[in-house]
Structure 1
Amino acid sequence: SRLYLLRRSKLTNKTPQLARDYAREALAWMVEDGVASRLDINAVRTGTDSLALAITIYQRDGNIHNIIFDDIWSELNG
């Protein structure tokens, strides 16, 4: 994943889009290999120094997995 690249940047209104793009890129193999039928990825700036990332993985068998990072910004810069 290229999410680590965000460590070098400031948290701006453009950062959530970069986080979404990097997460989508990192997880694309799941759809390509048939592990998931679909991925929903959302990143939101939740404060002046926090960024949330939510990933929903839809499997072909109907199972749905939600993964939520309440403050991925702190994880990246902690």
Structure 2
Amino acid sequence: MDILMAQNEQGLFDLPVQSGDLVGDNSLGTEIMVSLFTDVRAEKDELPPECRDLRGWWADALLSMQGDEQGTGSKLWLLRRQKQLESVLVQAETYARSALQWLINEGLASAVSVTAENPVQGMLALKVSVTRASPSVVQRVTDAWMINITETNVTMMGVV
């Protein structure tokens, strides 16, 4: 069981507490949110001209010393100032799939599907569906993300 990550009233992710303890979660929802919304370190040649910060999670430096080159998170942050083009949607799908690949590698999921679209001007939305390797039935809904978790699938709809 993992710790539940939920959105609070301000739209920020929070760790709920119940009876003085962190709330547990058997779904993959928290893993998916951390994978998509943690900024993985970029290469220098991937940065937009106005940006100098490669970002990344500090603990990835420790993991890379152990041979893990993947890093935690996604490169979706690199798309924040991009135009609404088909190529950007394809890149968003690629970044999201790459960030979620570890779920398959670790045996937590058997498949990951990602679709990106621009539902309105200035918005990039991702539909993420993860087929679980082991069944669990949970459903969570947040303001910005609708997360539906059944015995075999985790589906998230939301705005990046």
TM range (shorter): 0.7 to 0.9
SS at match of 1:53: strand
Name the aligned partner's letter for residue 157 of structure 2.
I
Structure 1: 5+ residue stretches without partners: 73-78
Shift of 1:17: 0.4
8 Å Cα contact 1:58/1:64 also seen in 2: yes
* Whole-angstrom distance in 1 between the partners of 2:105 and 2:97: 12
Check if 1:16 corresponds to 2:89: yes
Cα deviation for residue 48 of structure 1 reads: 2.8
Q: Between the two proteins, what is the percent identity of the paired residues?
A: 30
Q: How many residues align?
A: 71
8 Å Cα contact 1:37-1:60 kept in structure 2: yes
Offset from partner CA, 1:51-75 (integer Å, 9 cap, x none): 2100001012352111111x32xxx
SS of aligned partner of 2:118: strand
Take 2:96 and 2:76, find their aligned partners in 1: how far apart are those partners?
7
CA RMSD of aligned residues (A): 1.4
Matches within 5 A, 1:47-58: 47-58=120-131
Q: CA shift at 1:14, angstroms? A: 1.5
